[in-house]
């Protein structure tokens, strides 16, 4: 019976390992998308003033 118990333990650890791998992959994808979103948002800087080459109308 000891061998049967070890086999079921092994199966349980295999399921836990699959779940952890899935969680890590989802976490990495989420971090990647958050990083890309932050780069896009920080990269778009709207000008606070008009550029100097545009002269105001009289």
| pLDDT for 19 beyond 80 | yes
**Considering the domain boundaries, does residue 54 fall inside one?**
no
**Considering the domain boundaries, does residue 55 fall inside one?**
no
Secondary structure in 3-state letters for the chain: CHHHHHHHHHHHHHHHHHHHHHHHHHHHHHHHHHHHHHHHHHHCCCCCCCCCCCCCCC
- pTM (two decimals): 0.55
Quote the domain boundaries for residue 9: 1-47
Number of domains in the chain: 1
If you average pLDDT over residues 35-41, what whole number do you get?
88
If you average pLDDT over residues 27-41, what whole number do you get?
92
**pLDDT in the model for residue 21:** 94
């Amino acid at each position: 019976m000891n061998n049967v118990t070890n086999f079921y333990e092994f199966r349980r650890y295999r399921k836990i390992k699959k779940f952890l791998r899935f969680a890590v992959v989802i976490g990495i994808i989420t971090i990647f998308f958050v990083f890309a979103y932050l780069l896009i948002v920080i990269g778009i800087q709207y000008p606070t003033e008009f550029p100097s080459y545009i002269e105001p109308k009289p």
